[in-house]
Amino acid sequence: MSDPVLLLGDRFQAALVLAFGPEHAGVDPAIRPSNHADFQANLALGLAKTLKKSPRDVAAAILAKLDGTGVVERTELAGPGFINIWLRAEFLSAEVARVAAAGTAGVEAHPTPERIVIDYSSPNVAKEMHVGHLRSSVIGDALARVLEALGHTVLRQNHLGDWGTPFGMLIEHLLDEGADADAHSIRDLNAFYQAARAKFDASPEFAARARVRVVSLQSGDEATLGFWRKLVEASRTHFNALYRLLGVTLKDEDIAGESLFNPMLGEVVSELESMGQCVENEGAKCVFVPGYVGRDDKPLPLIARKQDGGYGYAATDLAAIRYRLQTLNATRILYVVGAPQTQHLAMIRDAAIQAGWLALPARAEHVAFGSVLGEDGKVLRTRAGATVRLIELLEEGVERARSIVAEKAPELPIEQRDAIARAVGIGAIKYADLSSDRVKDYVFDWSRMLAFDGNTAPYLQYAHARICSILRKSNESVELASIAISEPQERVLALSLLAFPRALADVAESLSPHRLCGYLYDLATAFSAFYEHCPVLKAATPEVRRSRLLLSATTATVIARGLELLGIEAPEKM
Ligand code: ARG
């Protein structure tokens, strides 16, 4: 076990039981990294209340029983009952050496792996992906990578909006134009969508045809399905190109669009009806879940089947959650969807609980996120006021990075500079998104995200490339070197390296990738301080040099692995 917090936690548990009896097994020793020591345990205050003793006495009694063999150098009772802990340098050395040798950056597989469905990206067919879908794709992909690294089985589900009433008007418009969807780029399809919409609103004759077409689509008319497939295909090509450019791991086989659930909708509704959970309401079939009311204070329904017999977004989500639980056997379902859908998703979850489909230990969680704002503090738009096209945004990022790289590394060949520019430009955009608390809105700011200092992708990428350059210059293989921790900066760096698995566990728990960003930033900062105070290539002895080189190499490994789990590349030269 390389995580000192877990190890100390076990030792404190044992001490607690020895000092006060088995009824206290399970009390959280609350061991946190500290500015005053390596760690601080903060369990005495809470226990003191239960035990009706002074916190300092409680802390002293625990310390008297603490077995620190092999791990703890010394402890100190501080303040009203805090316990400061310093670890043995030999312990730190051995654990870092283990991380260095393991090739997994110290991350071990979870003892009870789960099957985790992540619903993310989920753009709409025949419409271009926009900045809102950027957040879902980037956050969802980071969570997928982190949860997989922890040993869970991740089932990516791209819940494409590929079904429903809009397809009636889109197909009719396609036929009117005599247009061939293959010849249309998705950009045309965007304009195409607007034209179809305008006709639908203006012409009752067209609207009527569109409605008939929806019925043909839903009843599986082969010719209609053929036109529909063309629209889906054209969109998918566009989405895939964006995923590749963005470094998002979604593949065609992860598509589980709304159309997949179409054949299940009737059955889902009758199952809900037979359980008495779906009732007739103004001609529609509705599921009511307690606790949700509309603006008029009336109970808010989930519409399982519309008045006209059709099915909508809610019905599809009911079928999807049932499918994920009963067919995919998910034990955890994550919806990476914008904050405006909070109530809808909460109702789907509660309806699934009410139907008995969703029961502990399985759970469904909404990974909500806020909007991307322009520098004016309003939702990001182009100067002309249109929604920003994702592809243009990414291209601009790469373009801006290209000029920075040309300035910083003019000696590199042009192809290499291009590859670095892509890594930096796309990385900067993704990192800016991932490093802000996802539930909040954030301001899209080119100069901040592309800065080489502060909590940014370029800063971390540069730190990594700099270490790679030190290692190249050393011209020495240090895999088998032993690590000696003597300077305080070496100690801080070692502690930071050992905290990587904890940072990932924290992301898995909180579903907040910004915690991993914060960790990597702290690690890179610890490395800077180390590099400033502890000569590496010019160390006093060959042993110290080799030890410091191995500390450096391990830092590079952890930064690169951390960035990879965020979906960001780490070039070796910059
Ligand atoms: N296609 C939807 C949209 O663009 C997002 C779907 C989210 N997932 C879900 N299961 N409802 O708003």
Residue 427 placed within a domain:
no
Q: What is the domain-level CATH number for residue 69?
A: 3.30.1360.70
| Residue 352 located in a structural domain | yes
- Residue 187's pLDDT is what? 65
Are 270 and 359 in the same domain? yes
Phi, psi angle pair for 116, to nearest 5°: -115, 115
- Domain of 61, in residue numbers: 4-87
Q: How far is the CA of 160 from the centre of ligand 1 (A)?
A: 7
Do 356 and 280 reside in the same domain of the chain?
yes
Q: What is the mean pLDDT of residues 331-336?
A: 98
Q: What is the 3-state secondary structure (H, E, C) of 247-305?
A: CCCCCHHHECCHHHHHHHHHHHHHHHHHCCCCEEECCEEEEEEEEEECCCCCEEEEEEE
- Determine which residue's CA is closest to atom 5 belonging to ligand 1: 122
Task: Give me the residues paired with residue 305 across strands.
Answer: 285
Same domain, 462 and 560: yes
**Helices and strands in the chain, H and E counts:** 21, 13
The backbone region for 104, taken as left when phi is positive above 0, alpha when psi lies in -120 to 50, beta otherwise, is alpha
Band of the pLDDT at 184, cuts 50, 70, 90?
low
Substitution candidate for ligand 1 out of 341, 367, 371 with most atoms within 8 A of CB:
341
Q: Is the CB of 159 under 6 A from ligand 1?
A: yes
CATH number at residue 490: 1.10.730.10
pLDDT of residue 392: 86
Tell me how many domains the chain contains: 4
Residues 211 and 275 both lie in one domain: no
What is d(CA 263, CA 163) in angstroms, rounded to the nearest whole number?
Answer: 12
Kindly state whether residues 477 and 543 are assigned to the same domain. yes
Question: Per residue in 500-552, pLDDT tens?
Answer: 999 999 999 999 999 999 999 999 999 999 999 999 999 999 999 999 999 99
Any atom of ligand 1 within 6 Å of the Cβ of 324: no
pLDDT value for 188? 72
Going by C-alpha positions, the residue among 415, 410, 551, 451 that lies closest to residue 494 is 551
Do residues 303 and 231 both lie within one domain?
A: no
494 lines ligand 1 (CB under 6 A): no
pLDDT at 484: 93
- Does the pLDDT of residue 1 top 60, yes or no? no
**CA of residue 290 to ligand 1 center, whole Å:** 23
Provide the whole-model pTM: 0.93
| Average of per-residue pLDDT values in the chain | 92
- Residue 310 pLDDT: 84
Which of 202, 235, 268 terminates a domain? The answer is 235
- DSSP label of 85: E
Token pair of 574, please?
């910059």
Torsion of CA 325, 327, 331, 337, to 10 degrees: -60
* Last residue of one domain, picked from the residues 192, 220, 235: 235
Same domain flag for 182 and 275 = no
Q: Percent of the chain beyond pLDDT 90?
A: 76
Task: Tell me if residue 156 falls in helix, strand or coil.
Answer: strand
Using pLDDT thresholds of 50, 70 and 90, give the confidence band for residue 185: low
78 SS3 class = strand
Residue 194's pLDDT is: 87
Question: Considering the domain boundaries, does residue 409 fall inside one?
Answer: no
Domain assignment present for residue 54? The answer is yes
Question: Which residue, of 365, 398, 417, is where some domain finishes?
Answer: 365
Q: How confident is the model at residue 182 (pLDDT cuts 50, 70, 90)?
A: low
**Nearest-CA residue for atom 11 of ligand 1:** 317
What is the pLDDT averaged over residues 561-570?
98
Phi first, then psi: give them for residue 559, nearest 5 degrees. -65, -45
Nearest ligand 1 atom to alpha carbon 320: 10
Residue 517 domain-assigned (yes or no) = yes
pLDDT in tens, 389-417: 788 889 999 999 999 999 999 999 999 99
Q: Sheet harboring 115-119: ordered strands across?
A: 153-157, 115-119, 332-338, 363-369
Least confident of 28-37, 47-56, 92-101, 372-381: 372-381
Q: Evaluate whether residue 551 is within a structural domain.
A: yes
pLDDT value for 179: 63
What local confidence, expressed as pLDDT, does residue 567 receive? 98
